Structure formats: structure tokens, C-alpha cells
Amino acid sequence: MAKKYVYFFGAGRAEGDMKMKNLLGGKGANLAEMAGIGLPVPPGFTVSTEVCSLFYANKKRIPESVKIEVEKNLKRLENTAGQGLGDPKNPLLVSIRSGARASMPGMMDTILNLGLNEKTVAALIAKTGNARFAYDSYRRFVQMYGDVVLGLKPVHKDEIDPFEAIIEQKKHERGVKNDIDLTAGDLKDLVARFKAAIKEKTGHDFPEDPMKQLWGAIGAVFSSWMNDRAIAYRKLYDIPESWGTAVNVQLMVFGNMGNDSGTGVAFTRDAATGENIFYGEYLMNAQGEDVVAGTRTPLPIVELRKDDPKAYDQLEKIRHILEKHYTDMMDIEFTIQQGKLYMLQCRVGKRTAFAAIKIAVDMVGERLISEKEALARIEPDQLNQLLRPIFDHAEKEAAIKGGRLLAKGLNAGPGAATGRVVFNSVDAEAWAKRGEKVVLTRIETSPEDIKGMNAAEGILTARGGMTSHAALVARQMGKVCVAGCGELLIDYANHTMTVKGRTIKEGDWISIDGTTGQVIEGKINTRPSEVLQVLIEKTLAPAKAPVYQTFAKVMTWADKFRTLKIRTNADQPDQSANAVAFGAEGIGLCRTEHMFFGEGKIGPMQEMILADTLEQRRAALAKLLPLQRKDFAGIFEVMNGRPVTIRTIDPPLHEFLPHEEKGQRAVAADMGITYEKVRERVESLHEFNPMLGFRGCRLGIIYPEITEMQARAIFEAAAATKKKGIGVEPEVMIPLVGHVRELADQEKLVRQVAAAVMKEQGVRFKYLVGTMIEIPRGAITADEIAGVAEFFSFGTNDLTQTTLGVSRDDAARFLGPYVEKEIYAKDPFEVLDRDGVGQLMRVAVERGRRTRPMLKIGICGEHGGEPSSVEFCHIIGLNYVSCSPFRVPIARLAAARAALSNAPRPAAKKSASSKKPAKPKKPSRKR
Ligand code: ADP
Ligand code: MG
Ligand code: MG
């Protein structure tokens, strides 16, 4: 049997279903699904995404065999509808709708009322007795076809669509304000003018033959897959080009047949707040994109209860049917034709992070989904939005009292944003690149604006409702958005806007509150989110913080399912306390060198570096000892028995000395030595490539007294903490080990100090000595290293640098372009390079645990808080990930999702205990 490329749906049956998204696109699959469960869907058929690939492989032509299949399905549609395409008595009219696998709002263009020409429009009039409706449909068709298929749509947003210009002209001539006020005759005239414009601009007549129209439209949908907007959107959301779009051909139903007709869009819950209410907008006597285009301001869905109670009740029912069927919040499109309701689209609704989390948590409560499903639905990075700032309440009140409230729009994307006003996307991007905070301010946004929206702190529009492009995309991006703020009079040409008699110029500060819809003149400072106020500032009681409560539930569930432990990278007691509040179970990386820059420590540190003799160095180190000890004791106390990994000194010594003459002179004066001496020492420490130079364990090997001092500070702090009755679990970590003998050298020192301190202090405490795996040799010889190391921690920042042979600090010039060229899919310093660096990690885990089955392994590089990297760490069987305090919640959720979506890990941890006990081996070379 030949391969099937076209799938029919309608009248309670469908050849496809919602599981066939890859083939039918999201729209096609869900139309089929809705038709299949008996919802009122106008019949039609879907040309599969595979045809999109064929189209591009076939010089942008639809293959003959597919054409035959389309024609067969068209016949079937004609039979179902009892109409014929181009039939002069009973014409079939269809819409041509794109639909990719992932929904790409507004990316692809839809054509409505296809099949109209001079003959069929007459038939439509005869059939409906409604000439106004017929010509309204006709002019829309010619306009959409002209814009989309014949390419008359302007490229730049500030240019005006030629058809819109003609409409404005006509309205002006007729002295009316709204499209609605144009008569049948006016609309008929518009059709003629549109066609003339098309002829003038393209040199061709508008195609009268409906079959020609059909093929033109289908081709245009496939072609739009490769337009700039679509490409930009795919880039932003990681949608592969190979997916392609499907094309849906569907029987038209008409919302513009009069006041008993209408069209609308809705969410089955509030997409901004997540509240369980029916949320939508509609317009009577309107068609297609009227609701979202912002040309007429739509009514809230509850009003439909008055306008058409029957349709409203049916919609409410369908809302529940869909939520139960899909077990999710859905975004729907519907049309009412002369009192009869039709469903035109449904898809899982986009939502803010607030809404995503609230809906997932609520649906668990409603028993629609399980805790596991709830976790699967919350992207770890979405938690970020819960941690985002809100306006400082007092400052905002003062601003409003001071008369700075400019206007109120719709609260389309919650959060607080303050920035400088820019009026187009290009400027938004350029200003943001220079480090400016901007608020993108537009009459309305469209897909061309995506890059600018992404670059802006917030988005403000004058037109459009809660489901307008701006609102939809802002929510998806997690941007603050105030939409439909009708009081703003925006003047693109002069880069100004006026509101309440005041003029705001490009570059002026403005503040928008996406939670209330307020637009306020000037800058307003922001405050930490509810979650932070509860957990970190402790200024808000959990009971008074609903957002926090929802957050806490998600965290509780995440902890139930994750197997990875989560630690934090912190070198101060307060950072550590924050991390514990966020759920950290230990410290995975305490960088001792950060401490040296603290109060009173840099002096002795410099003294140590400038010392000429061992005695002088020891004298300087003796000054550092009590300072470091105090730092460690502070951290141990806060961590209260949780493991704390402390890394011995890592950066090259010259980092602690000033490189400028002025600074060097100051140091010389402080130390009572000559400036020349300081300068000489700085010069002698100079390295061509410090990243690969005299740093890491190399320092401790050449200057063992440094390691000794640090070990002593750690263990004396541990002893003191233990004496206070507080648990303590230090883990001393030796950095940059490539050869087991490097580690063995340092380990011996550390253990000697530990034994000495225990004896001196008369207490015993547990401690571990381990190493960072951050250079390839260390990873490859992990079996030998594990003979000495009691734990590994992957330093994936350096491991990425050394594996790729790329210095991160020098990579800016080429790594960006590399990612653009897709040489690396993602910046490998952001998202762990699984195939390269990841393979070394795998090898190190396997070999390390071959020697020491119970080997504790973690990661402390920046990747430890990045969801995809966390997943990889789970897959290869690490015990923990460690990340910055504010990413701890994200890592907790990412770890839970990794555990839920991956097979049980090969971790040695528990199962290993049944095997032979770990017996550290002498370094050996058999493999
Ligand atoms: P998008 O991908 O931008 O959502 P759609 O294909 O959903 O585009 O089309 C946009 C609008 O056109 C729909 O919301 C709907 O109102 C209208 N529309 C599409 N197909 C039909 C149809 N067969 N009958 C009536 N209206 C339609
Ligand atoms: Mg569209
Ligand atoms: Mg749609």
C-alpha cells in the first residue's frame, strides 16, 4: 500500500488522533482528537508534515502522488459538506491552516474563505441572502491571500499593510469608524480595489480558479516554514527545522454571519494566574483573527452568557470535557455560526510560571493528575519566575500618590519590570545588548517582534487582549507584560507616546506591573519575590504567602522522587544559610580563595606570596590560619552536620597581587618593602596561560605549608564545632589532579594534619579526602586516583575547558557563532557537552567505582544547576549535584524529573554495599 500523506477528520470520526502530533502537527492532531470524541468540529483533512519535507526536497513543489491524495480527500470533504469547490450554486469554502508539531503562535499564516471568486460569491449571496456577509468574507479572503500567498504583506512592522491602507481610505471616504459600519457595497468595492492593488503590485490577476487558489495556499503554508519569523522562533525555542509543518484544509464556518454569530478564544483556566476559572474573549459578528488582532477590543467570555446563553453553556461543558480528556489546561478557539457552536482548535495552553505551577498543583488536588505528572509539567527554569522580583510596595504607592500612574492595561504577564521605553524590536535588541534595561512599547506586537520581546524586561502594548500575540508570547517567555493599554497614543515615527497629556520619549524610564496592569512613569525599585521573603528574608509568614505554599508543595514532591542529592557552592555562612533555606543538603564546593579577599585577609596572603623564605611564608600563613578557621567554623555551624566540601587553594598566586603600579606601590608600603620587589615578584609570577599554569594542587605540592595551614584551619574549625555539640563532616578536596601521585602527595599532608589536630584537641571527627576531576588525565586514570580519593567532584568548568581545548574567557569571539552554526548545539559552558565532556565523566565514574565501589561522586561546576546537565548527572549515577544557592530549587526539580523520566541509575551507592567492601587499592596500571 502506498504511504498515507493525508488524514481526514469530521462528523464524529477521524483518521488521526492527538498522539499523531509529529505527523499531523499539533492543530491537525487535536482537530482529529476533538472530532473523534464527538465535539462539533467542522470536517476537513490534514496534509502531513512529511509532505513539508517532500515539498522542500522537490524544489518547493508538491509531489504528484500527494496531489492525487489531496484531491481524493477534497472529494470526500465535498461529499460530507454537500458542497463543491468552485460550484456556482453551492460552493465549498475552506480555510487553509498551518500547524507544526510544537505550537508556534502566529508563526504561520492562515487563509480563510478560500474558494470565493466572482461566481461563488454570487452563489453565497443567493444562498444566505446576506450580501454584506458574502462580501465581508470575500474581501478578507482576497486580503489574506494577497498578504500571505502573493507576498504583499509588508516586511517591516512600521509599514502599513496595503490592504489596511485601502480599508482606512474607504472608511475615511465613507465617514465611518469601524469595519462593521461598512456596507455590502463598500465591501464589494474593497474587493475590486484589493484586486487592482494586487494586479499593480504583482503584475498578475488574482486567481479566480479555486483549485489554483487551493494549491497556492497549501504551497504558501509550506513555504512559510522557512520564513524569517518562523526561523527566529524555532531558534529561540529549539525547534528543529526538520519537523516541518502540516497543512489543514477545513470546511469554513462563519462567525461573521450577523449578530447571532461570533468567534472567540479561551483558556480553560486563567493562563496568567492559574486560577480555575473559564477565561476568554469573544466578538460577535467577527471572523478569524479579529479577536486576537487587536483591531476591535473583544469582550470577556462571561458576557457571552448574555449574548448567547446556549452557546455559553455548551462551551462550559466542553471546557470540562476537554480538561478531563486531556488532563491539562487547554487553549481553545471556537466560532458560533447562527447560534451553532463549532470547535476550531484546542491545544495545551501556554501559561506563566505562576500558572504552570499552580495548575499542576491544583490538578493534583482535583485528582486529574498525579504528583509525578505535576512535576513533569513544570520546567525547572520556570521556578525562576517565582523567584523574580516584585515592585517595592512603598515606592510604588508613593509613585501612584505622586501622580505617576499613567494608565492601566491588562495584566497579561505577571511580575515587575522597570526600564527605558523603546518603540521597536530592533531598538530593544540593540539597547539590551548595550546593557540597558528596556520596556518594549508597541501598539501591538507580532511575530516579527519576538527577538525584541526576548531582549526586553517587559512588554507594553496599546492594543490587544489577554490572548493577543503580546500576551501569549510574553507569558511563554516569562516576561512581564501589560497589554491592551488603550490610553497610550504611540507615535512610531517620532518615537514618542502620549498618555494623559504627558509625552514619554524613547529612553524615558517606565515601570509596568504585569500582575495588576499598572503603567507608571519613571523608575521603581523592585523587591524580592514572595518565596524569597519567606525563605531568605524571613519577613513573610508562609501562611500569608500562597505563591510560596504552592512552591513548597512542588519542592516536597520533587524531594520525594529524586535520588540525586543537592548541594550548593558557597563560601560564606550567609550564602550557606540561604542555600539551606532553599533545600541544599550540603556544600559541594567551598572555594577558600574567595575568603582571602575578605576583611583583613588579603594582606597576610600577599605577605605569604612575597615571602622569600620558608620562615617568612610560615609567619604569614600563621596570620591567615585563625582567619580561615573562623570562616570554616561559621560555615560548619550553619551547615549543622551536613557535609561540607572545601577545596584547597586553586587560582594562580598572581591573582592576589595588584597588576597596576599604584596598587603595587601601596602593597610595598604596607609590607615595608620596596616597590621594585613587588613588581619583580608580579613579573616572575606572570604566566602565558594561567589557566594551565601554576595553580591547583601544583601550588600545594610546591608549597606544602599552604595546604598544611588550610588543612589545619579546616580541622581545628571542625574540632571546635564538634566540641560545641554540632555535627561536622568536612571533605577536603584537592583541585586539578591529573596524576594519582599529585593527590597522594597532598592526601598524606592532609591526613597528618588531621591526626595531629585530633590529638591536640582531643576530639575525633569524620572527614574525607578527595579530589576534583577536572582535567582529562584525571578522568581517564580515575581507577588509580580512586585508590587514594574517597570522593570525586567533577569540576566541569575546567573539564570543559581542558576537554574542548577552549579557554572560557577567550571563547566569546567564536563560541557564540559556533552555537549559531550549530557546531555545538548549546554553549558547552552552560549546558554540559554530553558527548564529549560527558563521556569523560562516564569513564571516570566507571573506573573510579571499579576501584572503590562506594566512591561518592558529585559535580560542582556551573552545570550543577542546569536542568539538562543535572539529568545527565543522574543518568551516569552521580550521588549529588552542587550549584549556586539560588539554583538549588531548580536542581531539586530537575533531579526529580530526571529520576522520573530515566531508568533506575547504575549508581553504586546502595547496591554496592552488598558487594565486597571498598578496599582502596595501590595505584596500578592494569586496565
Ligand atoms: P493560528 O495558527 O494562528 O492559531 P488558525 O489556523 O487557528 O491560526 O486560524 C486562525 C483563526 O482563523 C482561527 O482562530 C479561527 O477563528 C479562524 N478559522 C480557521 N479555520 C476556520 C474555519 N474552518 N472556519 C472558521 N474559522 C476558521
Ligand atoms: Mg495566525
Ligand atoms: Mg488558532
pLDDT at 500 over 60: yes
Q: What is the best residue among 46, 85, 93, 97 to mutate for testing ligand 1's pocket, by most ligand atoms within 8 Å of CB?
A: 97
In angstroms, rounded to a whole number, what is the distance separating the alpha carbons of residues 632 and 573? Answer: 8
According to the model, what pLDDT value does residue 492 have?
A: 93
How much is the average pLDDT of 696-722?
97
- The tens digit of pLDDT for each residue in 63-72 reads 999 999 999 9
H-assigned helices in 614-739: 614-639, 661-671, 675-685, 697-702, 704-723
CA of 604 from ligand 1 middle (Å) equals: 72
Residues 6+ apart with CB under 8 A from 882: 566, 567, 568, 569, 586, 587, 588, 589, 645, 793, 858, 859, 860, 864
According to the model, what pLDDT value does residue 628 have?
A: 93
With bands split at pLDDT 50, 70 and 90, how would you rate the model's confidence at 919? very low
With bands split at pLDDT 50, 70 and 90, how would you rate the model's confidence at 592? confident
According to the model, what pLDDT value does residue 103 have?
A: 75
pLDDT at 924 over 70: no
According to the model, what pLDDT value does residue 918 have?
A: 42
According to the model, what pLDDT value does residue 108 have?
A: 62
Is there an atom of ligand 1 within 6 Å of 289 CB?
Answer: yes
Max Cα separation, the chain?
Answer: 107
Side chain identity, residue 575? Q
Tell which atom from ligand 1 comes closest to the C-alpha of 44.
23
pLDDT at 860 over 70: yes
- The tens digit of pLDDT for each residue in 539-571 reads 999 999 988 999 999 999 999 999 999 999 998
According to the model, what pLDDT value does residue 757 have?
A: 98
pLDDT at 913 over 70: no
According to the model, what pLDDT value does residue 210 have?
A: 97
Pairing, β 856-859 against β 791-794: parallel
CA of 333 from ligand 3 middle (Å) equals: 6
- Beta bridge partners, 480, equal 458
**In this predicted structure, which of 152-161, 294-303, 635-644, 767-776 has the lowest mean pLDDT?**
152-161
pLDDT > 90: what percent of the chain? 75
Pairing, β 245-251 against β 94-100: antiparallel
How much is the average pLDDT of 759-786?
98
pLDDT at 917 over 70: no
- Beta bridge partners, 251, equal 94
According to the model, what pLDDT value does residue 294 have?
A: 65
Q: Name the residue with higher pLDDT: 469 or 686.
A: 686
Q: What sign has the CA pseudo-torsion 522, 523, 524, 530?
A: positive
Ligand 1, atom 14, lies closest to the CA of: 288
Catalytic status, residue 594: no
How much is the average pLDDT of 98-121?
85
**How many Cα atoms within 13 Å fall on the side-chain side of residue 920?**
13
C-alpha cell belonging to residue 807: 579557554
In the DSSP assignment, the letter for residue 147 is I
How much is the average pLDDT of 820-837?
92
Q: Which ligand lies nearest to the CA atom of residue 254 in the structure?
A: 1
Among 469, 654, 863, 874, the one annotated catalytic: 469
C-alpha cell belonging to residue 322: 476537554
How much is the average pLDDT of 883-897?
94
According to the model, what pLDDT value does residue 473 have?
A: 79
How much is the average pLDDT of 349-375?
93
pLDDT at 408 over 90: yes
pTM over 0.85: no
**In this predicted structure, which of 229-238, 449-458, 709-718 has the lowest mean pLDDT?**
229-238
- The tens digit of pLDDT for each residue in 733-752 reads 999 999 999 999 999 999 99
Q: Which ligand lies nearest to the CA atom of residue 109 in the structure?
A: 2
In angstroms, rounded to a whole number, what is the distance separating the alpha carbons of residues 832 and 854? Answer: 25
With bands split at pLDDT 50, 70 and 90, how would you rate the model's confidence at 393? confident
Is there an atom of ligand 1 within 6 Å of 333 CB?
Answer: yes
DSSP 3-state of 199: helix
pLDDT > 70: what percent of the chain? 96
With bands split at pLDDT 50, 70 and 90, how would you rate the model's confidence at 1? low
Backbone angles phi, psi at 17, to 5 degrees: -155, 180
Ligand 1, atom 6, lies closest to the CA of: 97
According to the model, what pLDDT value does residue 106 have?
A: 52
pLDDT at 467 over 80: no
CA of 396 from ligand 1 middle (Å) equals: 41
According to the model, what pLDDT value does residue 528 have?
A: 82
Is there an atom of ligand 1 within 6 Å of 250 CB?
Answer: yes
According to the model, what pLDDT value does residue 390 have?
A: 83
Mean pLDDT of the chain: 91
Side chain identity, residue 248? N
How much is the average pLDDT of 76-99?
96
Is there an atom of ligand 1 within 6 Å of 335 CB?
Answer: yes
According to the model, what pLDDT value does residue 920 have?
A: 44
Is there an atom of ligand 1 within 6 Å of 262 CB?
Answer: no
CA of 730 from ligand 3 middle (Å) equals: 58
How much is the average pLDDT of 88-112?
86
The answer to whether the CB of 452 falls within 8 A of the CB of 427 is: yes
CA 636, chain centre distance (Å): 36
Burial of 365 (0-12, 13-18, 19+ CB in 10 A): exposed
CA of 124 from ligand 2 middle (Å) equals: 25
pLDDT at 775 over 60: yes
| CA 866-868-874 angle, 5° bins | 100
According to the model, what pLDDT value does residue 272 have?
A: 83
- Beta bridge partners, 300, equal 281
- The tens digit of pLDDT for each residue in 40-70 reads 999 999 999 999 999 999 999 999 999 999 9
pLDDT at 909 over 50: no
Residues 6+ apart with CB under 8 A from 294: 443, 444, 461, 463, 464, 465, 468, 484
In angstroms, rounded to a whole number, what is the distance separating the alpha carbons of residues 457 and 4? Answer: 47
Rg for the chain (alpha carbons), in Å? 33
Ligand 1, atom 15, lies closest to the CA of: 288
Query: Whose CA is closest to 856, among 484, 588, 477, 541?
Result: 588
Is there an atom of ligand 1 within 6 Å of 252 CB?
Answer: yes
Q: Name the residue with higher pLDDT: 897 or 671.
A: 897
